[in-house]
Structure 1
């Protein structure tokens, strides 16, 4: 992190400002969109006045001194999708030790069946914006994506001053450096990073919208529902749920959530390793935020499956038959225990569905956001 005093007109020094390095990549590989009046990288670079962008960002985010580093280069391969371009942008950011990065391209951003105006990952502090049929200037598009990276809700037309201040604090933590201590364990370093970047990590998790993860992974959800339907009508499980203590039921839930979390993180290669020492802090922040995002998302899945199981139990499990099989009266407590147990097994079943999910679908659901055209 680099700080310097900002001078006032009266000559007195105010509080030091934090310098934030923004990497701006112009895609030189895309063909001009309009053969009659082509933009091309050179014309696009002329439209992206780095001094004007830095002044705008300085005005929008108080206490920050923005340094915009403009680079023109080939951004991936012609057939790369939006996630590929985002990964290229993030790799370039790590190589150059930028605090955040935005790539600008004139080609469409395609992800699966969708064409997007931008692909943004607050956890990676990176974004890609397409000017293909854009209804705003390149400067406005970059400014908007920077705000999205810093946690501003893109659905809010005019962010409040409090939102801007929160985004500025987010940027300060991106620019702050956590010293590396000789002989320190990875767990100790991660704990120090988590303590110093708590606001950044929590903001990243919120921006990832973990409560939507379960609903976007259709294979996992389908497998979980199928598992729940099969186990709900198994009388042996009625006996187990009736006999299990609250501690045992809690362990079932914890094992279920942990199993699916590990399956998603490992199966989709969401856990990253730094390639060099300078990347260690950013990668640690990303890994912590990703783990929390998946954990919360799977926790929400577990609660949803438990509620679905409770509804199914009330509809399908006859109270007299339940009492005859288990020897326990079919009270609300027994129905809730059965629903919790079945929901836990269904959650574990979703781990099988997670193995069938495409890695890009999982990554897209967990930590990237994009607006479709």
Structure 2
């Protein structure tokens, strides 16, 4: 099954119950067992949850307290994955907690959460034993490490603020108890605490009933990390396999252009600045055409956040930009091979009027790649909108766009 078909099957799946209990340790009579449920959507959140399931049992035992062993259950839930409202995510996570009999539950989303001018990394509702983590707020680099840190922070709050007897299924919600003392150790993430600080606040949010919130800081860096994380959530490296036909059209166009000596002479005449400008123009043209041809630019909706719309659009441009850079480099490698194999050195030297070196071949391949990329931009319009959207966006983003289209239909 292709990458695009795999994404589509996940989007169409009505529910996910593929759960697994992990992280069990050998129990002793004096050691209690705490069960943590991780509730991710498919694709990137599910991969992050699988990593957390492996690392968290030992990490929680050392960071939160040694009086309890931890069992981790991962349940991939596409239904919860389609929600974009933080309050709805927390509500559905609580339902899943009671359904599976977990002590605590953390929902993992790959949609950004912006509340009261803060970039939200994680939320915790103490009396319900429920938390949520927003992956984009952790940034695109070292996402796993930052998510580990966010998960430990949330669980420290839940353990210190939620009585054990209130967590099981069927227990009536009670007011959160006074915060117990929890040791905050700094051994695992000393550098991250300086490079990507997370600030704990007690929000007064009228729309989302949250007891403790962790936000990214400082604010400017938080927005940059959020955008970086949104691009990572879209997984731009998965777009290339969906454009096999575009690559074929582009390579055929460039290879045909190599027949004509005019392209050879132009590559010899052009300097590095002109070649770089042509490369940037061709890649920008492809990104622009993909967005226009397949309606990837989000428009402001009634009641929607203008800032969030700008972030989505910026993430789309950057996602496609990363994908097109990868696409360009693959084409460049193909053209270097084609030029070396099919352009005779003697004929190239006679046409250019000077001895040739490997640099001349590289410049010719570079120019051919830029010309082919422009042709590929036009050819990308032949791909279906569904193929391009499934390849460009992550699961939750696809669900969110689908819901937006249904609202405006």
Give the conservation status (yes or no) of the 8 Å contact 2:246–2:379. yes
Aligned counterpart, 1:107: none
Aligned counterpart, 2:149: 165
Give the conservation status (yes or no) of the 8 Å contact 1:121–1:367. no
Aligned counterpart, 1:205: 231
Query: Aligned-pair distance for 1:215?
Result: 2.6
Aligned counterpart, 1:225: 251
Aligned length: 248
Task: Indicate how the Cα distance of structure 1 residues 170 and 97 shifts in structure 2: closer, same or farther if over 3 A, else same.
Answer: farther
Indicate the SS of the match to 2:239: helix
Is structure 2 residue 355 aligned with structure 1 residue 307? no
Aligned counterpart, 2:368: 342
Task: Indicate how the Cα distance of structure 1 residues 256 and 87 shifts in structure 2: closer, same or farther if over 3 A, else same.
Answer: farther
- Write out aligned runs for 1:55-94 (5 A): 89-90=83-84, 93=85
Aligned counterpart, 2:4: none
Task: Indicate how the Cα distance of structure 1 residues 283 and 243 shifts in structure 2: closer, same or farther if over 3 A, else same.
Answer: same
Distance in 2, matches of 1:305 and 1:360, equals: 24
Compute the RMSD of aligned alpha carbons: 4.9
Query: Aligned-pair distance for 1:232?
Result: 2.1
Distance in 2, matches of 1:86 and 1:354, equals: 33
TM-score, scaled to structure 1: 0.53
Aligned counterpart, 1:263: 289
Indicate the SS of the match to 1:299: helix
Give the conservation status (yes or no) of the 8 Å contact 2:137–2:225. no
Distance in 2, matches of 1:256 and 1:337, equals: 16
Give the conservation status (yes or no) of the 8 Å contact 2:136–2:227. no
Distance in 2, matches of 1:345 and 1:200, equals: 34
Give the conservation status (yes or no) of the 8 Å contact 1:121–1:368. no
Distance in 2, matches of 1:101 and 1:286, equals: 25
Query: Aligned-pair distance for 1:343?
Result: 0.7
- Write out aligned runs for 1:129-278 (5 A): 162-165=146-149, 196-276=222-302, 278=304
Aligned counterpart, 2:110: 122
Query: Aligned-pair distance for 1:200?
Result: 1.4
Deviations 1:142-177 (A, max 9, x none): x9x977777799xx9xx66x432267889999xx9x
Aligned counterpart, 2:348: 322
Give the conservation status (yes or no) of the 8 Å contact 1:89–1:101. no
Aligned counterpart, 2:319: 293
Give the conservation status (yes or no) of the 8 Å contact 2:139–2:226. no
Structure 1 gaps of 5+ residues are: 1-29, 34-51, 63-81, 105-119, 126-142, 177-191
Indicate the SS of the match to 1:217: helix
Structure 2 gaps of 5+ residues are: 1-13, 18-35, 40-48, 64-77, 96-107, 114-129, 154-195, 204-217, 397-409
Query: Aligned-pair distance for 1:322?
Result: 0.4
Give the conservation status (yes or no) of the 8 Å contact 2:253–2:375. yes
Give the conservation status (yes or no) of the 8 Å contact 1:121–1:369. no
Query: Aligned-pair distance for 1:330?
Result: 2.2
- Write out aligned runs for 1:27-106 (5 A): 89-90=83-84, 93=85
Give the conservation status (yes or no) of the 8 Å contact 2:139–2:225. no
Deviations 1:251-287 (A, max 9, x none): 1101110000001111111111221354222222211
Give the conservation status (yes or no) of the 8 Å contact 1:205–1:289. yes
Deviations 1:185-229 (A, max 9, x none): xxxxxxx99754111111221232223322322232221121122
- Write out aligned runs for 1:349-360 (5 A): 349-360=375-386
Distance in 2, matches of 1:216 and 1:294, equals: 13
Distance in 1, matches of 2:367 and 2:243, equals: 22
Query: Aligned-pair distance for 1:328?
Result: 3.0
Aligned counterpart, 2:179: none
Aligned counterpart, 2:9: none
Distance in 1, matches of 2:222 and 2:303, equals: 18
Give the conservation status (yes or no) of the 8 Å contact 2:111–2:135. no
